[in-house]
Amino acid sequence: MSVPLTAPSFDDIRAAESCLKNIIIRTPLLKLNYDMPGIEIYLKCEQFQLTSSFKVRGASNIVKMLTAKEKENGIVTASSGNMAQGLSWIAREENIKCKILVPDTTNEVKLKAIERLGGEITKCSFDEWFQVIINGQCPMLDGYFIHPVRNRHVMAGHGTIALEILDELPECDAIFVPYGGGGLITGIVSAVKHLKESVDIFACEAETAAPLSAALNANEIVKIPIKKSWIDAIGHANVMKEMWPLVKDSIDGSIVVTLKETADALKLLIERNHLICEGASATALAAILWHYQRLLENNKAGLRRKPGDEPIKVVAILTGAGIDNTTIIKCLNGTL
C-alpha cells in the first residue's frame, strides 16, 4: 500500500532554505507601478530565477536529497517545460544525466531551454504524458523518477518563496498563486500558515482550464473540458487525487480569470514595470486587478483584516518567463 502524500512541514521548508542558500537566487519583491485604491500590489519575480522559473527551487532541493545510488542512472521527470529546466540545470551542476518526457504541445521556447541546459528530451502525446503524471512513474525512460508535483521535498523547495516574501513584507495580507498541479501553492501554504496564519492564499486559474475551482464548487474532484490557449504552463482536466486533500481545506479559494484579463495584466506588467513573464504568471496579477476588489466589497475574500486607513498589501507570484516573442508582440498590440 502506498503511503499517502503529505504536505511539507515547516522544518522541511527551513531545511530546504538552508540547502538552497548557495544554489538559487533570492528573487526581488517589486511594487507594481499601478495605483489601485486601498491596495498595494507587490510582485515576487520568480522569472528572474536561474532557469527563469520557480521550479528550480523544488528541483534542486529534491536532487540534493538523493543518494549516490539513486542518482547513478540519472534522473527522469515528466514536465511541460519549467520543471524540466530546473532539473536539467541542477543535473548539470551535479554531473548526472537528466531525461525529460514532454508533451508534444510544449512551446519551442521551453524545449530549446531544456536542450540548452543539457536535458535529453523525449516527446509523446499529451494523453500519454498526463498518464505518467497520474501514475507517478515513467517506464519508458530509465533513471530515478522525480514527480514534478507530488513530492514533499519538491514542495518544500517551492515553499522557500513564502519565507522570502514574509521576510521582506511581514505586513503581507494575501498571496496569489498560479495553480497548475498544486505543488507550489501547497509549499506556500505550509510556510505561510506557520509564520502568519492571517495571510490569505488564493489559487489563480485561467478560464480555459480551471479544475480546482470546479472541485471546490463541487466539494470533490471533477473532470472538466479544457481548451488549448496561449496560457500553457497551468491547467489540467482535473485536480490530482493526491493533491486534493492538501489543497481543499488549506487555501482561501480559487479565482478564475479570463484570457483577456490575463493578457491585459501581462501588458500592464510589460508597460508599467518592464517585466516579461508567461501567461500563467499573469493570472495572479489578473486575479488581483479584476476580481479581488469585488471580493472585498462583497465580503467574500476571507480577508482577516478589512480595508481601512492602511492599504491592504498583496503579492502576486510571477512563476516564470516561458513565453515567445510572437505572443509578447500580440499582447502589446492588443490582439492576443
Q: Which residues are catalytic?
A: 55, 80
Kindly state the helix (H) or strand (E) to which residue 75 belongs, with its residue range.
Answer: strand 75-78
SS3 assignment, position 100: strand
Contact, 106 vs 113, CB < 8 A?
Answer: no
Amino acid identity of residue 228, one-letter, is: K
- Measured CA distances, 62 to 13, 253, 307 (Å): 12, 28, 40
* Cα distance between residue 219 and residue 222, in whole Å: 9
Rg (alpha carbons) of the chain, rounded to whole number: 19
- Measured CA distances, 325 to 55, 126, 284, 328 (Å): 22, 24, 21, 5
* Cα distance between residue 71 and residue 67, in whole Å: 6
Kindly state the helix (H) or strand (E) to which residue 70 belongs, with its residue range.
Answer: helix 68-71
Cell of 57: 527551487
* Cα distance between residue 27 and residue 54, in whole Å: 9
Kindly state the helix (H) or strand (E) to which residue 184 belongs, with its residue range.
Answer: helix 183-195
* Cα distance between residue 322 and residue 83, in whole Å: 12
Contact, 206 vs 234, CB < 8 A?
Answer: yes
Contact, 233 vs 180, CB < 8 A?
Answer: yes
